[in-house]
Structure formats: C-alpha cells, structure tokens
C-alpha cells in the first residue's frame, strides 16, 4: 500500500488531533507519522502543542533525519518511527502515544489476561525496557519488538503501534488503552477473574490480524 504526500500529511493531522482529544497524546507528548513518497515520512514536530495541529506544522524527513519539507524540527523520536517501518515494511503508519492506563500497565509489567476478545488479539504486545527517549538504543529495541507484534509497551514511557494505514495503528492504540482500562477496573473490583477458556483463546489468537 502506498500513500501520496498529500494523503500522508492529511492523515497525520487527523489522527493527531483525534488522539489528543481522546487523551492518548499529551500537550507535547507522543508523536505520529505516515509514510510519504520516496522513502520519506511525514511526522509531527518537536515540542509543539498537539491540540491544534495543522498540515503546515508537519515535517517530511528522510531515513537519516534530514528535512525534505517543513520549517520545524521533527520529533526527537524520528529514529523510532523509521525503525518501526524497517521492522514491518508493509506498514504505512506509526503512532507513539502516552495513553495513561496502558502506560501504567507497561510500568508495572502486567500482561493482558484473556478477559475478552481484544485482550486475546493484543496478547502478543511486547514490553520494551526503558531507554532514553529519542535514542538509537530505544529505536533498536522497538524495531526488535515490532517484528514480533504491531504494538509494544515502552516501559516508563508509553506505547508504540504500527498499521497498514495510520488509521489501523491508531485503532490498535485505542484498543490497547481500552483493554488496559478494563484490566484496571477488574483489579479495582477485586475477586477472581473470569477468563475465556483456553480452547477459545487458541482459536481467537489464530485470527489476531482481525485488528
């Protein structure tokens, strides 16, 4: 799947504004990208308020981080985005969120128990240990994790998701946060979890590409 520069730019603005309105991006935390033309990506800029993003705010960059178009500095996490695309060349959208509940799950290292179908579909989500944000070490660790799953927890940091489209990546990030929220509610209620039977866990896991 290929996207034009115009399509990529429009998608990044749309998804960024949506994710901010849902509380999955903070004022300046998190970043969004989509593949453009000629091995470039369009990415959100560094240190810019995420609540009112416009197309002219975006930056188009090459794999070495150099700018093709745009007046601002690209997100410091640009290496992590390119490493995610290297891990899965068929993906055209990547999203790093600071979703609060899923981030908290990553901090305490909780897995997703099979409490519902989404939890089963997302159970391959990887846990990446903490590395300095913006570092090559973090980008390399995310690349390894994304080869195994289309999403990963960044411990003490947030989430990273990819998708065949940026919309798919955003949907996965939303599903991760919603499933983490249900895990939190279950723990607050207390008592024993009712889990989906093992035979159905296996059957559902086999169609995990559904989301």
The pTM (predicted TM-score) of the whole model is 0.94
What does the pLDDT average to over 89-98?
97
Q: What is the pLDDT of residues 142-163, one digit of tens each?
A: 999 999 999 999 999 999 999 9
Residue 119 tokens read as: 């939890």
Domains and CATH numbers, the chain: 5-210 (3.40.225.10)
Note the pLDDT of residue 92. Answer: 98
Number of Cβ within 10 Å of residue 179's Cβ equals 24
Query: Is residue 3 pLDDT above 90, yes or no?
Result: no
Note the pLDDT of residue 191. Answer: 82
Q: What are phi and psi of 126, to 5 degrees?
A: -90, 160
Query: How does DSSP assign 101-162, residue by residue?
Result: HHHHHHHHT----SSSHHHHHTTT-EEEPP--TT-HHHHHHHHHHHHH-SEEEETTTEEEEE
CA-based Rg of the chain, rounded to a whole angstrom?
17
């Amino acid at each position: 799947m290929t996207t034009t520069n115009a399509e990529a730019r429009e998608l990044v603005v749309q998804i960024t504004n949506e994710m901010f309105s849902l509380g999955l991006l903070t004022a300046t935390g998190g970043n969004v990208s989509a593949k453009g033309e000629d091995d470039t990506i369009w990415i959100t800029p560094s240190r810019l308020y995420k609540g009112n993003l416009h197309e002219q705010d975006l930056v188009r960059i090459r794999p070495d981080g150099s700018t093709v178009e745009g007046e601002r500095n690209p997100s410091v996490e640009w290496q992590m985005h390119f490493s995610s695309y290297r891990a899965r060349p068929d993906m055209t959208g990547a999203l790093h969120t600071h979703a609060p509940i899923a981030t908290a799950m990553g901090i305490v290292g909780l897995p997703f128990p099979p409490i519902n179908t989404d939890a089963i579909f997302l159970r391959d989500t990887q846990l990446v240990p903490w590395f300095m944000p913006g570092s090559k070490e973090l980008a390399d660790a995310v690349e390894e994790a994304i080869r195994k799953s289309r999403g990963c927890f960044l411990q003490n940091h947030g989430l990273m998701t990819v998708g065949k489209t940026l919309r798919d990546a955003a949907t996965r990030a939303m599903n991760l946060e919603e499933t983490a929220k249900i895990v939190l509610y279950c723990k607050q209620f207390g008592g024993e979890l009712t889990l989906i039977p093992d035979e159905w866990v296996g059957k559902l896991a086999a169609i995990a590409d559904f989301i």
